[in-house]
Structure 1
Amino acid sequence: MLLWFKRIIITLTLLLLALLAFLRFQGWQYIAAYSGGGFARSLPDAASIAKNQSCDTPPIQVLSYNVMYGSAFIEAMAARFRNGETGKGELPWSVRLPEIRERIASFSPDLLGLQEMDADSDVAAIVPLGQYTLVSYHLGNFQYGDSALLFKTERFEPLDAGQLWLGNTPDLPMSLGYRPLSMIRYVNWVLLREKASGFTFMFVNTHFDNAAANKEPSATLFRQRIASLTTKGLPVIVTGDFNTTANTERYRRFTGTDLQPPLLENAYVLAHSPPVDAVLHPDHRIDHILAGGPCKVEAEQWSIDPRPLKSGLPMSDHDPVFARLRFIDNPVSQ
């Protein structure tokens, strides 16, 4: 009997060690990669795109919005196991989504970066996919839209798209972050060409983790892989929940504002916006719209919409950030 018990303990210990090794050495990510998800796509060759690039474009309306638990699945699990509570006391997704849909439509964005989405059907509940093209991560039937992005199909055509994973192995899908067993986070990107003008640029959306152990290396990776594309001749527009205010060293790092010119600039700065309520200023917000590249970039408008639901209850724990951007040929770079 004692020998049998020892064998069980040894077997369980070996299984536990195997599981820890599986997680430690990104076993899940390799399975995701080789079972159809693939490794991260190479980022576009910015130098070749920059040749004969014209920067003169009509205004591009950009919206970034963390909708807070935009998932029918999470709502169903919360209803089953937690009496409907998802952690912050907010109203269920199904109750909030009609007004979220109206709020997004009121901005009529050409480019839309969403955070905390889940399946494609959740996105379709708030954005008409007949008018927009959706880019998010798919692995077979599994869909993960935490950094889902959309663009107006009539105006833009996609040339390439992919994800960069915020973890120690950024080219492996479904990375669990830099700290063990963190949330899965990624940078979502699409290379777009404006159909009318041929203007080609990168649209990027992301959601940094809220743990400093993940945010710090994510900021460095973002600068190296994404923000640096602007130095290679590629115009870039970025939306995201960076869990980082604009008055921090981390923000200065991933935007490259330590350089002249900066790698990316906040749309608030580009708009030369007058002082706003301190609570709404980028120095006190963690959601940002950024832009940069070889073109001169102007923001004709920048705003944050703090309005709650019609009932007065929160629509989300974040507010939509909106900007109307224009790219103009820069005489200095010609």
Structure 2
Amino acid sequence: MLTWLKRIAITLLALLALLFVLLRQQGWQTVAAYTGGGFARPLPDASKVQAQNCHAQPLRVMSFNVMYGSAVIESLAATFRGGSTGKDELPWSVRLPEIRERIASYQPDLLGLQEMGEDDAIHAIVDAGQYSLVSYHLGGFQYGDSALLYKTARFEPLDAAQLWLGNSPELPMSLGFRRLSMIRYANWALLRDKSSGFTFLFVNSHFDNASVNKEPSATLFRERITQLAKAMPVIVTGDFNTTADTERYRRFSGTDVQPPLLQNAYTLAHSPTVEPALHPDKRIDHILAGGPCPFSAEQWLLDTRPLKNGKMMSDHDALFTILQVGEPATPATNPPQP
């Protein structure tokens, strides 16, 4: 009897040790990649994006971290926070209708969402008949933390994939730079405007809030994505957990060189007058654009309105801009408010 118990105990310990190694060394992600999931597609080769007509109709661009963007995410968050998702937030099901209404009011051509989950949750706030979705799928598993959407009628997709923000950028679902940390990625799509032929890279991302992860994420983003703006138009949305007055921001955006690789839409809109608390130097959500085609912005704003009952819609404000490709837009000293 004792012999059998020892064998069972040894087997259990061996299984636990194997599980620990698999988790720590990202074994299950590697197995999934080799057995059908595949490794991440490489980013577009900018040299193959030929010189083009740098003109297109204005691009309405929006970025919004919706906070716990599905019932599944909200339930998980509550589990790890003693049954509450936060201090004073209303459930996702209560906030969802007004979030959908708020996004629709801007009619964005390009939309970057953060803290989203499964496809159904995304399509609950953005019409699947109007927008095409880029998100990560592995079989039936869906991970839409940095969901990227574009108007189907306007854009032709040429390529799309994810860059994983960790030590193994090509390994899908790769953990962050600190072992067993949150999985983050930069979602990208190479799009062509159907009417003008204007071709550009649209990127949406959500950096981790821990410095041990977001510092190297900024470096990786600069090396892999921002550098592409030297040869092709790039538009970026995201929650970078980084204010615009930091070295990390200058690094990932490429504003530490002249001319800047990417510029904040706030700057492209001729730095409209805003309250100090709304200035990019105090905010962590950004829209950026750059490349060989000149960009300007007709409008830049943060929508700080709460829900109709006065409660917060999210712990982030929706960020919106109208980008102009080609000749600079007329300066908007007092851009229209929502």
Partner of 1:254: 252
Residue 284 of structure 1 aligns to which amino acid in structure 2? K
Q: Distance in 1 between matches of 2:128 and 2:3?
A: 62
Residue 320 of structure 1 aligns to which amino acid in structure 2? A
One of 293, 296, 318 as aligned partner of 1:295: 293
Task: Describe the SS at the equivalent of 1:32.
Answer: helix
Shift of 1:88: 4.1
Unaligned 5+ runs, structure 1: none
The 5 A counterparts of 1:125-136 are: 125-136=124-135
**1:70 and 1:118 in contact (8 A); partners too:** yes
Q: Distance in 2 between matches of 1:321 and 1:145?
A: 19
Partner of 1:112: 111
| Post-superposition CA distance 1:168-208 (Å, at most 9, x none) | 10000001111111111111000000000000000000000
Q: 1:256 to 1:78 in 2, by over 3 A?
A: closer
Structure 2 residue 42 is matched with structure 1 residue 38? no
**1:164 and 1:171 in contact (8 A); partners too:** yes
Shift of 1:2: 6.0
Structure 2 residue 69 is matched with structure 1 residue 70? yes
Task: Describe the SS at the equivalent of 1:273.
Answer: coil
Q: Distance in 1 between matches of 2:224 and 2:115?
A: 23
Shift of 1:78: 6.5
| Post-superposition CA distance 1:254-295 (Å, at most 9, x none) | 011111111111000111123311111101110000101001
Q: Distance in 1 between matches of 2:23 and 2:271?
A: 47
Task: Describe the SS at the equivalent of 2:315.
Answer: coil
| TM-score when normalising by structure 2 | 0.92
Structure 2 residue 278 is matched with structure 1 residue 308? no
Shift of 1:167: 0.7
**1:84 and 1:92 in contact (8 A); partners too:** no
The 5 A counterparts of 1:22-171 are: 22-49=22-49, 51-76=50-75, 85-171=84-170
Percentage of identical aligned residues? 70
Shift of 1:35: 3.6
Moved more, 175-184 or 199-208: 175-184
Shift of 1:328: 1.1
Q: 1:92 to 1:45 in 2, by over 3 A?
A: same
Q: Distance in 2 between matches of 1:17 and 1:83?
A: 29
Partner of 2:332: none
**Over aligned residues, Cα RMSD in angstroms?**
1.9
Q: 1:292 to 1:17 in 2, by over 3 A?
A: same
| TM-score when normalising by structure 1 | 0.93
Partner of 2:273: 275
Task: Describe the SS at the equivalent of 1:160.
Answer: strand
Q: 1:253 to 1:82 in 2, by over 3 A?
A: closer
Structure 2 residue 186 is matched with structure 1 residue 181? no
Task: Describe the SS at the equivalent of 2:134.
Answer: strand
Unaligned 5+ runs, structure 2: 329-338
Shift of 1:58: 1.4
Moved more, 151-160 or 82-91: 82-91
Shift of 1:21: 1.6
